[in-house]
Amino acid sequence: MQYIDPHIHMISRTTDDYVAMKAAGIVAVIEPAFWLGQPRTTVGSFQDYFSSLVGWERFRAKQFGIVHYCTIGLNSKEANNVALAEEVMELLPLYAGKEGVVAIGEIGYDDQTEAEDRFFRLQLELAKEINLPVMIHTPHRDKRKGTLRSMDVCMEHGLDPSMVVIDHNNEETVKDVLDRGFWAGFTIYPHSKMDSERMAVVVQQYGPERIIVDSSADWGVSDPLSVPKTANIMRQRGIPEEHIHTTCYQNALSIYGKSGQIKEEHWLQREAINQTELLEGNSVLRGQTPLVESSTAESVKR
């Protein structure tokens, strides 16, 4: 089976991760704009970061046989630096229309401050204006309160719930999200958020409709193979293969496909890997023999 990881921070992962992910059946990834573990201090650092998401990281993934997409947004933690956030807001429209950008995100609440609320609302309006889906980060603290508030604000701004992914759900929030017509993303972490066993129980209880499995793997303790590993746990629990395909592949394609940027043909008929290629004079090579696939295109069977 093929998988999509629709929330993973590949800029902080290694090329070995790309190799392992491809071997495990991951054909495409979506990388949300996020924070780096410490605050950025100038608008130029945001500009360079956004450029890497639509540039180098997209190229690097391609060199290992995975199609890379991203979302663009001002994350909630850094929204609290108001002066800098105002500058970043001027950048967002310049990147939101780039090739491979499938949503505005990840945006929402962290400490649920006034500043976070202000910039969350501004970015929802941007998503409406350019007709992109939205990826929402729900807070680690007061999660249910923040999740309900996020959905309320989306409705206040007239967003169609079918265009919004509420991510980082758990058992406490899933029913509210599904009942209100939003997409429910679940992050599978080794030691926090959800784990694979709990995720399988959620799918058994609620079914596969509008449920999305992701890894959110980043610079912390996390696992870029969370999606295929969770799929295997689902199989062991007797969950139908159709439901696994829906939650670990099709739902992500359906919602983010509304951007017009992500299409199944991108990996079913992807370009052959050619690691001799350069991007602005740079390659992924570090002394190894470059991988060059013999065919000009690879038709991948599902």
**29-45 pLDDT, tens digit each:** 999 999 988 989 999 99
Res 294: pLDDT: 86
Query: Mean pLDDT over all residues of the chain?
Result: 95
- Domain positions in the chain: 3-275
198: nearest Cα among 237, 166, 163, 165 = 237
Res 302: pLDDT: 42
Of 8-17, 242-251, 289-298, least confident by mean pLDDT is: 289-298
d(CA 194, CA 173) in angstroms, rounded, equals 12
Q: Which residues have CB under 8 Å from 205's CB, separation 6+?
A: none
Task: Give counts: helices (H), strands (E), the chain.
Answer: 12, 10
- Beta strand 164-167 with 134-137 is parallel
Q: Is it the case that residue 299 has pLDDT exceeding 50?
A: no
Is 274 within 8 Å of 296 (Cβ atoms)?
no
Tell me yes or no: is domain 3-275 CATH 3.20.20.70: no
Give the mean pLDDT of 123-127: 98
At 219, list the tokens. Answer: 């610079």
Q: Is it the case that residue 297 has pLDDT exceeding 70?
A: no
Give tens-digit pLDDT for 65-106: 999 999 999 999 999 999 999 999 999 999 999 999 999 999
- How many other β-carbons are positioned within 10 Å of the β-carbon of residue 128? 16
d(CA 30, CA 63) in angstroms, rounded, equals 16
Res 144: pLDDT: 95
Is 7 within 8 Å of 106 (Cβ atoms)?
yes
pTM above 0.85, yes or no: yes
Res 218: pLDDT: 93
Is 181 within 8 Å of 165 (Cβ atoms)?
no
